[in-house]
Amino acid sequence: MTSGVFCEPQPGRIAHTPTSLLLANDPDFAAWARSVATVKYEASSALAKSSASCWGDHQPAVSGFNLGFENPVHFQELFRSGSDPKLSRDFGGFLKATQRIYANDSMHVLNGFDWASLGRATVVDMARPASARVSAQLIKKFNDLEMVIVGQSEFEPLIKSELANFPADLTSRIASQLSKGPVLEFDGKADVIMIRHLLHHFPEQAAVRMLSNLVTKLKPNGVILIVDLVMPKPGTTNSYDEALLRTRDLIHTELSNGETRDLESWDALISKVRGGLEISEIKRPVGSDLSFIKVQVAQQNGVGGH
């Protein structure tokens, strides 16, 4: 009641609000609520203990989730494997619900980067959960693009069902590389490797390893496009938006010892990647929670900066 989930239209009578009706009638948002009330609550209760145990180490296996549930398996691996069906169902719904929010809408991907400037190009879409929607929307709007979806094999049915909604002349320009393991890997060469809403799940060492591998997959003058959260400095945005971002930061830490990085942290991360990368541009489309961080090999970027 005090949080506005339900209301009291008259004394002694409780009624639904739009929020409670959404939770009651929409399976994805119902799963979102269960995930918050169970998984995230238990993980948050062990955050102090996990922080003390991995201070200065930042190993992803030591998280609030691991200690709260007394389970040594990394959260993302447990979710991916399906060995805990309830967790996979609820957190899967949580992810679907968040993707339906306007601030995370896939339309922002179309506006967050100058795709038209690429001409004929190969673009990799690397995300978790894997989806074909963004790839299909990009090739529908930009005729010279070819897409490669990189993800995990359990998302193959979803990808196929999404592609079925598009004509064959478009889907023929979309390939996929799906693996059974926990590590997302791309085998080939690309003009742009887009990493969507993924790196915040990884502590610095793991993120550096992933990016160092992907640098070797770029064509000359290629770009790594990181689509992720950039934490604002305190007081530089309105308190509501800042509170939401900091809440998400805590969730990433509690579940997988991940991190929602500010600009300085992104800079520090990129500087440690083998291959001499640097950030050349950061753009946040109007209405989007996610920023588009354009990363290139330093010598092809000139003196650069952002």
Model confidence pLDDT, tens digit, residues 140-156: 999 999 999 998 888 88
Q: What is the pLDDT of residues 208-240, one digit of tens each?
A: 999 999 999 999 999 999 999 999 888 888 888
Residues 30-58 have pLDDT tens digits of: 999 999 889 888 989 888 888 777 655 55
Please measure the distance between the N-terminal and C-terminal CA atoms of the chain and give it in whole angstroms: 46
**In a 3-state reduction of DSSP, which class is residue 151?**
strand
Q: Find the mean pLDDT for residues 253-278.
A: 90
DSSP assignment letter at 158: H
* pLDDT above 90 as % of the chain: 44
For the ranges 74-83, 84-93, 234-243, the lowest mean pLDDT is seen at 74-83
What is the second-level CATH architecture of the domain 103-297? 3-Layer(aba) Sandwich (3.40)
Q: Which two tokens stand for residue 256?
A: 């997988």
Q: What percent of the chain has pLDDT over 70?
A: 94
Query: What pLDDT, on the 0 to 100 scale, is given for residue 9?
Result: 92
Question: For residue 287, what pLDDT is reported?
Answer: 86
Which helix (H) or strand (E) segment holds residue 121: the answer is strand 121-127
Where is average pLDDT lowest: 18-22, 61-65, 93-97, 254-258?
61-65
pLDDT at 306: 52
How far apart CA 148 and CA 129 sit, in angstroms, is 15
Predicted confidence (pLDDT) per residue in 89-142, tens digit = 898 888 888 878 878 888 899 989 999 999 999 999 998 778 898 999 999 999
Q: What angle do helix axes 27-35 and 85-99 make, rounded to 10 degrees?
A: 120
Mean confidence (pLDDT) of the chain: 87
Question: What pairing do the DSSP bridges indicate for beta strands 13-16 and 174-179?
Answer: unpaired
Q: What is the pTM of this model?
A: 0.83
Amino acid at 216: T
Based on the number of CB atoms within 10 Å of its own CB, is 81 exposed (0-12), middle (13-18) or buried (19 or more)? Answer: middle
How far, in Å, CA of 176 to CA of 72, rounded?
A: 31
Between CA 125 and CA 115 the distance in angstroms is: 13
What local confidence, expressed as pLDDT, does residue 49 receive? 85
- Give me the residue spans of the domains in the chain: 7-99, 103-297
Q: Report pLDDT for 175.
A: 95
Give the mean model confidence (pLDDT) for residues 236-262: 84
Quote the pLDDT of residue 304. 45
Two tokens at 24?
Answer: 């009651």
Asked whether residue 300 carries a pLDDT value surpassing 60, the answer given is no
SS3 26: coil
Contact, 230 vs 263, CB < 8 A? yes
Q: In the prediction, which pLDDT does 54 show?
A: 65
Q: What is the pLDDT of residues 143-200, one digit of tens each?
A: 999 999 998 888 888 899 989 999 999 999 999 998 876 678 899 999 999 999 889 8
